[in-house]
Amino acid sequence: MSSSILGGSLAAQAQTSLVQTRENSLLQQMKNPQTSDAKIDKSAQEFESMLLSTWLQQAESSMATVPGAEDDEDAGSREQMISLGVQSLSNSLAASGGIGIGKMIAKALHASAAKAEAAAAAPTAGTTPAEGEKVAK
């Protein structure tokens, strides 16, 4: 029984570490002002996939246990297989449109990127105005 608890704990730690690593890489990609539209869309989809995976794992763990059921020796490997299945399901859901969170995030990131590009292209203070522009006094 202790080996199944240890195996489940290690699987949970590995899953948490994987999610944190993916989250950190997505944050780094989003901080780059030169991100392309495809990167923004992919990052938003991956974020939605991680979110769905977390929700599905919590739902599975709350509904999967049956009161009075005996613990198996292979519970750790079963947990890993369920985790892989939930991750695959969340990736598929997000790829097919998910629940719309990824689209909302992508829309906001596209707007932010456009604003950042416009600010970078705007003339900086101290430059001379172009012909026909008024100088503020």
For 46-105, how does the pLDDT look when each residue is reduced to its tens digit (9 = 90+)? 999 999 999 988 888 877 666 656 666 677 787 888 888 888 999 999 989 889 999 999
Higher pLDDT, 17 or 91: 91
Predicted confidence band at 6 (pLDDT cuts at 50, 70, 90)? low
Within 13 Å and on the Cβ side, how many CA atoms surround 111?
6
Percent of the chain whose pLDDT exceeds 90: 18
Query: Burial of 132 by CB count in 10 Å (0-12 exposed, 13-18 middle, 19+ buried)?
Result: exposed
The pLDDT, as a whole number, for residue 81 is 85
Domain ranges of the chain: 8-24+36-63+75-107
Q: What is the mean pLDDT of the chain?
A: 77
116, 132, 122, 92: which is closest to 40 by C-alpha? 116
| Pairwise CA distance, residues 42 & 38, whole Å | 6
Q: Is residue 25's pLDDT more than 70?
A: yes
Angle ∠(134,136,137) on CA atoms, nearest 5: 130
Higher pLDDT, 67 or 14: 14
